Structure 1
């Protein structure tokens, strides 16, 4: 799994366990989203993948209504996903 429940909750600043199921589903969905968006086997433990997952999870957590603020998410996430798609997010690959 790209992030543990505890890592996601810490990033979201969520205490308690009322939202554990929801946050777990966000973590699982973020992993699938990243894999689908990059069209390659990315290293789920890379810091860039974890950052992309955190951005997605925070966005989904803060924007639960049907109409969200996609433009706020688009640029930063798209930039990370492009890097993951073309170099796997590993800085050493390009050297």
Structure 2
């Protein structure tokens, strides 16, 4: 696991347990997205992987209706981190 529920809730500034199931689903989806986008697996020691998971979870949590476009800032952040994780790491450095 790259990020924990508690870490995600702290990042989201959520202090209740009502949406723990949703947040866990978003964490799982973010980690799968990372693997699918890079072809690599990462653990919690990789700070870029953690940051990408935080950004994805926050974007999906805050924009649940999926209406409209992803902000350019989020898109650029995700693309930049995915590129770095794809090209700057191999299976021995994760």
TM-score (normalised: structure 2): 0.87
Q: Which is helix-richer, 1 or 2? A: 1
RMSD, aligned CA = 1.6
Alpha-carbon separation, structure 1, partners of 2:38 and 2:85: 6
Structure 1 segments unaligned to the other structure (5+ residues): none
Structure 2 segments unaligned to the other structure (5+ residues): none
Alpha-carbon separation, structure 1, partners of 2:16 and 2:57: 17
Alpha-carbon separation, structure 2, partners of 1:23 and 1:61: 7
TM-score (normalised: structure 1): 0.86
Q: Which position in structure 2 is the counterpart of 1:16?
A: 16
Distance 1:68 1:19, change over 3 A: farther
* Count of residues paired in the alignment: 89
